[in-house]
């Protein structure tokens, strides 16, 4: 898993000196900013999060945008989903952990994480059995 994985000079490094799709059985990268990073696809699955501006939810600087990749993956592990995906997105209308784990999902994919799906029970309408 590569979280905003490129360094400032990765675009000038050979593949043997940076993350690429041969480094593991499955390489998934989260691209969360275009500043001081490696912008080109370099995984089996490259997730471009909230392009074209790459302003991430709850962040104030591009440094925070880099850190958002870790936060997003944690949210996915906790069961969070994000709806309102770009039209014709390979993830369908909702982005969640199963998309990251789906070995059939490959290439460059744009995802939107500004619109969360409530995955927690609504206790106001919960009726015990």
pLDDT in tens, 45-93: 989 999 887 789 888 888 888 888 889 999 999 999 998 788 778 888 8
pTM of whole model > 0.85?
A: no
Query: For the chain, percent helix, then strand, then coil, each to nearest 5?
Result: 20, 20, 60
- The whole-angstrom separation of Cα 111 and Cα 91 is 8
The answer regarding whether domain 2-117 maps to CATH 3.40.50.1820 reads yes
pLDDT for 34 equals 77
Provide the residue ranges of all domains of the chain, joining segments of one domain with +: 2-117
pLDDT digits (tens, 9 = 90+) for 32-45: 887 766 677 777 89
Taking alpha carbons only, the member of 30, 40, 39, 20 closest to residue 67 is 30
């Amino acid at each position: 898993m590569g979280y905003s994985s490129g360094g400032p000079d990765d675009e000038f490094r050979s593949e043997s000196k940076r993350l690429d799709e041969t480094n593991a059985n499955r390489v998934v990268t989260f691209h969360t900013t275009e500043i001081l990073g490696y912008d080109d696809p370099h995984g089996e699955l490259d997730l471009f999060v909230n392009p074209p501006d790459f302003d991430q939810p709850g962040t104030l600087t591009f440094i925070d945008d880099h850190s958002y990749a870790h936060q997003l993956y944690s949210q996915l592990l906790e069961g969070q989903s994000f709806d309102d995906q770009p039209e014709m997105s390979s993830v369908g209308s909702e982005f969640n952990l199963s998309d990251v784990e789906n070995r059939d999902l490959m290439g460059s994919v744009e995802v939107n994480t500004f619109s969360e799906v409530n995955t927690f029970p609504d206790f106001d309408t919960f009726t015990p059995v």
